[in-house]
Amino acid sequence: MSQKMTIRPHVKAVKEGEGAVLLDLNEGKYFSLNAVAARIWELVAAGAATDEVVSQLTQSYRIDEVSARRDVDRFFDSMRSRGFVSGE
């Protein structure tokens, strides 16, 4: 089932090279993202649901759907645990 993530308002992203840096304004902490994680973040910011994110990753990085879904789920779990995103 596809889920849409919402970026919490206290988290700001800045593109850094091929990756990105997230700033948690509540905690004053930085979190760096590699290129793939930055792409996932960008897709979420554009309103993509999880199925769309998985599809984009399989096309862009030539990985199978099972691996892409696993990686996306892990990424979202990590972002939820930090309070950076919430799901609908």
The Cα–Cα gap between 88 and 31 comes to 23
Phi, psi of 49, rounded to the nearest 5 degrees: -85, 170
pLDDT reported for residue 21? 97
pLDDT reported for residue 2? 78
Q: Along the 88 residues of the chain, how does pLDDT read in single tens digits?
A: 678 899 999 999 999 999 999 999 999 999 999 999 999 999 999 999 999 999 999 999 989 999 999 999 999 999 999 999 987 5
The Cα–Cα gap between 87 and 30 comes to 22
Tell me how far CA of residue 9 lies from CA of 15, 27, 45, 58, 69, in angstroms.
17, 13, 11, 29, 25
The Cα–Cα gap between 45 and 74 comes to 18
